[in-house]
Amino acid sequence: MINTSDPAWRAVSGRARTVLLAAPRSFCAGVERAIEIVERLLEEHGGPIYVRKQIVHNRHVVEDLETRGAVFVEELTEVPPGATVVFSAHGVSPAVRAEATARSLDTVDATCPLVTKVHAEARRFARRGDTVVLIGHAGHEEVDGTLGEAPDRTVLVETPADVAALPDLAQVSYLTQTTLAVDETAEVVAALLRRFPHARGPGSDDICYATTNRQRALSAIAADADLVLVVGSTNSSNSKRLVELASRTGVPAYLIDDAADLRPSWLSDVDTVALTAGASAPPPLVDEVVEVLRALGPVSVQERELARETIRFTLPGRVR
């Protein structure tokens, strides 16, 4: 909790505030599934259970699993031969799977089913002879995995300018990273279709339902707020997109890992706070932010639910 006797916090105390809670927020089905896979393996076998990369992009989730015996590694060379290793929710390339087999690793796949869908589309489009234009952020683990499905037939673009720089292509299809900003991605797709009118997209949106829902829910409240707070880690793509979305409305917006990241200067002259969390952020972190605001003065919490998420993904047979 904050130190309310600190002069900086005392200066913003005593004010009544309204907190607008976006809904949906926090964990999505793919994140819940990935975390549960690691938890069940730890319960059944104890540690260490190795995880390639972060299971989901959230510091609190990773640190909690580490205390229970999970070991997070960057590369499979850090995993002892024959050990159990979990592939993160972001997916991996066929080359990584082949390396795991070569090292006789016991693999458990926690890839989000919606990312698996994009991988399958990449393979299908490449098989029919298309150049696959992948819209996404360079260096993101999900993008690396998708690029690896058909590396000789896939090109990555991030902006309309990247589309303009593409060479002439005869047969084009496109896919997107699942955690992009909906409005910005639409601009890139529009640029792509202007350049290649016959380009074919996926049968259904690649940007996942959870990313879309969280962006729409925040859009519905951001304009009514003096400040937007997004709970999530700095390496979380969908969390960063929420901050960017709010900033485009002209409202000050900040990404915070937890309540400890709050700064008193942000709350000066603020009556209404819009609060949400990225899909990989644990729900209790949102509650902690509300409690810190309550410590500063009376708080009225209003939850505005834009959609209700009922999707659940089946666990792999290995841990069911």
Q: Where are the domains of the chain?
A: 7-27+209-305, 29-112, 114-207
Place of tokens 């926090």: 26
Query: Does 119 show up as a binding residue in the annotation?
Result: no
Percent above pLDDT 70 for the chain? 100
Query: Does 208 show up as a binding residue in the annotation?
Result: yes
Over residues 301-313, the pLDDT tens digits come to 999 999 999 999 9
Q: pLDDT value at position 15?
A: 95
CATH code that applies to domain 7-27+209-305 = 3.40.1010.20
Fold of 114-207: Cobalt-precorrin-4 Transmethylase; domain 1 (3.40.1010)
Residue 320, pLDDT above cutoff 90: no
Percent above pLDDT 90 for the chain? 96
Over residues 259-301, the pLDDT tens digits come to 999 999 999 999 999 999 999 999 999 999 999 999 999 999 9
Q: Would you give the distance in Å from CA 40 to the centre of its chain?
A: 22
Q: pLDDT value at position 2?
A: 75
Q: Are domains 7-27+209-305 and 114-207 of this chain identical in fold?
A: yes
Query: Does 93 show up as a binding residue in the annotation?
Result: no
Question: Structure pTM?
Answer: 0.96
Query: Does 213 show up as a binding residue in the annotation?
Result: no
What lies within 8 Å, CB to CB, of 227 at 6+ separation is 251, 252, 253, 254, 266, 267, 270, 272, 273, 274
Cα–Cα distance, 72 to 70 (Å, whole number): 6
Over residues 54-75, the pLDDT tens digits come to 999 999 999 999 999 999 999 9
Most distant pair of Cα atoms in the chain: their distance: 67
Place of tokens 């997107």: 176
∠ Cα 261 301 222 (to 5°): 65
Query: Does 237 show up as a binding residue in the annotation?
Result: yes
Query: Does 236 show up as a binding residue in the annotation?
Result: yes
Fold of 29-112: Rossmann fold (3.40.50)
Residue 83, pLDDT above cutoff 90: yes
Residue 1, pLDDT above cutoff 80: no
Q: pLDDT value at position 302?
A: 98
**CA proximity to 218, closest of 285, 157, 306, 288:** 306
Q: How confident is the model at residue 3 (pLDDT cuts 50, 70, 90)?
A: confident
Q: pLDDT value at position 44?
A: 94
Q: pLDDT value at position 272?
A: 98
Q: pLDDT value at position 4?
A: 72
Query: Does 28 show up as a binding residue in the annotation?
Result: yes
Q: pLDDT value at position 298?
A: 97
AA identity, residue 261: D
Query: Does 212 show up as a binding residue in the annotation?
Result: no
Catalytic residues: 142
